[in-house]
């Protein structure tokens, strides 16, 4: 496996990929979390998904163990597994590869075709969760603040979406520091979503075209 694409990209963007054996060793350090369907992972310089792809594979193995016998539950929990994977990447070709790699893993697992609702819903989720942007500045490529979508599974085929600003989420630690002006505020007062959506089905997600921070 090539760990670099070009010397220039190493110089310009520090682009050196982590070898798979090391990724697996690192993921084993948090093995329990990687095998939990709804644990959330954010990789702030995700490249083409060297960490996110095996994380998704581990989550899907957990889906198979827990829901393998029910097609309905298996499909919805597999989508939830995908919904819990997040990445930010500066380079357009890398983020496109990352989205494609993640979609391929899900599609292979569920034997999906490109016309299936679940395939389109997953592509929509990936366009939101895998952000083309600058993780240091917390800005998407169009310079809008990066938003993070919190997905939840409500059961019976419905998903909840709430959007948060990444700079607000990452600022929470300092907000709640003991000597902060805001230390007397409850977390709920800071942890307010920028937007909350009504519950959505896979079909709703498949046909959704309202975007947010989903720079292509
Ligand atoms: C060292 S590589 C790691 C890729 C992947 N995480 C891995 O371990 O294989 C760093 C990646 O971060 C991206 N990158 C560099 N600066 C970035 C920034 N400010 N925001 C987001 N991504 C960035 C590069 O384009 C590159 O894909």
Ligand 1 atom with least separation from CA of 88: 21
Alpha-helical regions (H) of the chain: 7-13, 20-28, 31-34, 52-67, 71-83, 92-110, 117-129, 166-175, 187-190, 202-206
Angle at the Cα of 194 from the Cα atoms of 176 and 153, rounded to 5 degrees: 95
Ligand 1 atom with least separation from CA of 17: 9
Q: Is pLDDT at 96 greater than 90 in this prediction?
A: yes
Please tell me which residue, 34 or 169, carries the higher pLDDT value: 34
Q: What pLDDT score was predicted for residue 185?
A: 59
- So where are the chain's domains? 12-170+183-206
Q: Is 97 a pocket residue for ligand 1 (Cβ < 6 Å)?
A: no
Identify the three-state secondary structure at position 211: coil
Q: pLDDT band at residue 103, thresholds of 50, 70 and 90?
A: very high
Cα–ligand 1 centroid distance for 120 (angstroms): 27
Please choose from 9, 14, 88 the residue to mutate so as to test ligand 1's pocket, defined by most ligand atoms within 8 A of CB. 14
Report yes or no on whether pTM surpasses 0.85.
yes
Q: Is 135 a pocket residue for ligand 1 (Cβ < 6 Å)?
A: yes
């Amino acid at each position: 496996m090539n760990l670099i694409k070009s010397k220039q990209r190493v110089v310009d963007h520090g682009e050196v990929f982590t070898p798979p054996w090391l990724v697996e060793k690192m993921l084993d350090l948090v093995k329990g979390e990687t095998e939990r369907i709804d644990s959330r992972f954010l990789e702030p310089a995700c490249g083409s998904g060297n960490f996110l792809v095996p994380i998704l594979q581990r989550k899907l193995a957990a889906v198979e163990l827990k829901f393998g016998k029910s097609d309905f539950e298996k499909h919805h929990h597999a989508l939830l597994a995908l919904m819990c994977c997040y990445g930010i990447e500066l380079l357009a070709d890398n983020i496109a590869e990352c989205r494609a790699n993640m979609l391929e893993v899900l599609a292979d697992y569920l034997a999906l075709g490109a016309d299936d609702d679940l395939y389109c819903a997953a592509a929509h989720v990936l366009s939101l969760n895998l952000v083309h942007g600058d993780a240091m500045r917390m800005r998407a490529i169009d310079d809008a603040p990066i938003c993070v979508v919190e997905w939840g599974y409500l059961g019976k085929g419905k998903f909840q979406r709430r959007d948060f600003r990444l700079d607000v989420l990452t600022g929470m630690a300092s907000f709640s520091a003991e000597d902060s002006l805001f230390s007397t505020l409850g977390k709920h007062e800071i942890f307010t979503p920028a937007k909350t959506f009504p519950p959505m089905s896979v079909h709703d997600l498949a046909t959704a075209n309202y975007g947010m921070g989903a720079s292509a």
